[in-house]
Amino acid sequence: MLNITAVRKAKRQVVELNIAPLVDMVFILLIFFLVTTSFVKETGVDINRPTAATTVSKEKSNILIGITKENKVFMDKREIDIRALRANVERALAENPEGGVVIVADRESHTGVVIMALDGCKLAGAKNVSIAASLSQDVE
């Protein structure tokens, strides 16, 4: 005699979905995007840059220093003392010796603070120091 429950169990198939290859693929895509993404460094504060007709766009600048209109100095999104700027730039240059320095100073910041920042960068050993400006719209 035929056992109906045995026939039903035999007809039922257990379907499994193996997600291990899917998880592996997601991790590979994540690693790919992390490796190919270029991260933009910022000074960490909003700065109203002065305009200039002779601005030149720099493709890469590894060290950004921000100076606000209150003459506060920022580097890597944190406020630093102007006297500690040289040590911070030396540390950043030790990580990347070919890195250039860009000083992003507010148009209302004091010239003395900008000059002190330039001196600190040069004394730290930076060979390529620039001051950021916006492109002037009334170029003749």
Give the architecture-level CATH label for domain 51-135.
Answer: 2-Layer Sandwich (3.30)
Which residues make beta-bridge pairs with 129?
101
- Count CB neighbours of 131 within 10 A: 18
Length of the chain: 140
Q: What is residue 27's predicted lDDT score, i.e. its pLDDT?
A: 92
User: DSSP string covering 9-57, please?
Assistant: HHH--------HHHHHHHHHHHHHHHHHPPPPP--SS---PPEETT---
pLDDT tens digit string along 28-79?
999 888 887 766 565 566 666 666 666 666 656 578 899 998 999 998 888 9
Q: What is residue 17's predicted lDDT score, i.e. its pLDDT?
A: 80
How far apart CA 14 and CA 120 sit, in angstroms, is 71
pLDDT tens digit string along 81-115?
999 999 999 998 888 888 888 898 888 888 899 99
Threshold 0.75, pTM exceeds = no
Q: What is residue 139's predicted lDDT score, i.e. its pLDDT?
A: 46
How far apart CA 65 and CA 85 sit, in angstroms, is 9
3-state class of 68 per DSSP? coil
Q: What is residue 140's predicted lDDT score, i.e. its pLDDT?
A: 45
What one-character DSSP code corresponds to residue 109? S
Contact between residue 85 and residue 117 where contact means Cβ atoms under 8 Å apart? yes
Q: What residue segments make up the domains of the chain, in order of their start?
A: 4-36, 51-135
- Count CB neighbours of 88 within 10 A: 20
